[in-house]
Amino acid sequence: MHILITDKVADEAIDMLKKAGYDVTYDEMDGKTLLREIPKYDALMVRSRTKVTSEIVKAGADGKLKVIGRAGVGVDNIDVETAAKNGIKVVNAPTGSTVSVAELAIAHMLALARFIPKADVTMKKGEWLKKQLRGNELNGKTLGLIGSGHIAQHVAKIANGLGMNVLVYSPHCTEEKAKKMGATYTTLEKLLKQSDFISLHIPHTQETHHLINRERLMLMKKNVYLINCARGGVVDEKSLYEFLKDGKIAGAAIDVFEKEPPENNKLLTLDNVVLTPHIGANTKEAQIRAGTICAEQIIKTLRGEEPEYWVNKKIMK
């Protein structure tokens, strides 16, 4: 069987597929080329760059395609429903980047609370802003987690170690689950009103699009810090810019954007914003885990076994 990989993945993942007896092709082809070539392959592995559109899925279904693997968590770059309709499984690696993204979220909190980026830039300019850079401790502060999946759970674990009080809201969360996280379950409205730091850990869907909008920003404390290491699109960036510019909230740290890379995005002009270029899962450890977990799921599918991380299982059965 033939497997096509169109985005850079860990060598360990490619080796795993080859050792399992599969013919592996690595080619970062564009969409038009993929549309033409995909019928030749039994499996496709991607990260976030490749857009697996409905046309590509249908072309694969007309050929030999049986499974699409996402070496990561989010599958918003794959037409999951069209895959299901055409009998193609979509699998992912939801635990591969858990630690890396969680650690980045915490790092962003510390960077905001202690003005680390500004301290670094001004020091390199020969300035000594010791008195001006009086920050805040995380200890004793309230962290609001929107989302209760693997990443949010690990953020809660670290936050508990730092002495933070953790609140959590998610449609999928219960009081029992929150307790296991070391958090208190609450409503979204209460979380927004009570938190000193708010960290987003949710997918971008129709339901979560601009979840953090003008109305919800108005509920937040003036000294709150907002962290988004989840997905672009869950925050209304124009409203966030206005609130940050006018000092209605203290600051924000953003790893993901509605358009990537961002173009003419006013958030990039603000001093009270810490920015990173979607590097949440970009660690050596996370890439190895994401790639090998995804490879395992593809191998199981091609062998006729049921994969653990079968994204479109419910709509296929």
**Rounded mean pLDDT for each run of 10 residues along the chain, 317 residues in total:** 97 98 98 98 96 98 98 93 98 96 98 98 98 97 97 98 98 97 98 98 94 98 98 97 98 97 96 97 95 98 98 92
Question: How far apart, in whole angstroms, are the C-alpha atoms of residue 145 and residue 98?
Answer: 15
pLDDT tens-digit series, residues 214-240:
999 999 999 999 999 999 999 999 999
pLDDT tens-digit series, residues 124-164:
999 999 999 999 999 999 999 999 999 999 999 999 999 99
Taken in order of first residue, the domains within the chain and their CATH numbers are 2-94+284-316 (3.40.50.720), 98-275 (3.40.50.720)
pLDDT at 317: 76
* H-helix segments, the chain: 11-19, 31-37, 54-62, 80-85, 98-113, 116-124, 150-161, 175-181, 188-194, 214-217, 237-245, 284-302, 313-316
Residues annotated as catalytic are: 231, 260, 278
Q: Taking a C-beta distance cutoff of 8 angstroms, is the pair 116, 136 a contact?
A: no
pLDDT at 32: 97
pLDDT at 74: 86
Question: How far apart, in whole angstroms, are the C-alpha atoms of residue 287 and residue 277?
Answer: 16
**Amino acid found at 182:** G
What is the token pair recorded at 208? 């979560």
Question: How far apart, in whole angstroms, are the C-alpha atoms of residue 195 and residue 224?
Answer: 7
Q: Taking a C-beta distance cutoff of 8 angstroms, is the pair 175, 229 a contact?
A: no
Q: Residue 187's closest CA among 224, 156, 146?
A: 146
